[in-house]
Amino acid sequence: MKILAIIINLFLPGIGTLFTKKWVQAILQILLVALAFTLNATGIGAFLGIPIFVVAWIWALITGITYQPT
């Protein structure tokens, strides 16, 4: 399950976190990625959108890596 969460978070940040059952973190990560894509679509918002996406992506990877199944 941990490997699956990491692999999914590599391509779809936040979705892999759903597999770890960390619902609040997953929703926040998905919202941050959606915000980043929205800002990137506006052009000038890419100045903020790219860093927001990178932060959400790294956060999702760390969540998957540190997941400890119970």
pLDDT digits (tens, 9 = 90+) for 5-50: 888 888 999 998 998 889 999 999 999 999 999 999 998 888 999 9
Q: How far apart are CA 68 and CA 53, in angstroms?
A: 25
pTM of this prediction?
0.86
Q: How far apart are CA 5 and CA 59, in angstroms?
A: 13
Domains in the chain: boundaries: 2-65
CB 16 within 8 A of CB 9: yes
User: 13: buried, middle or exposed (CB in 10 Å: 19+, 13-18, 0-12)?
Assistant: buried
Q: What is the pLDDT of residue 56?
A: 94
**In the predicted model, is pLDDT for residue 1 greater than 80?**
no
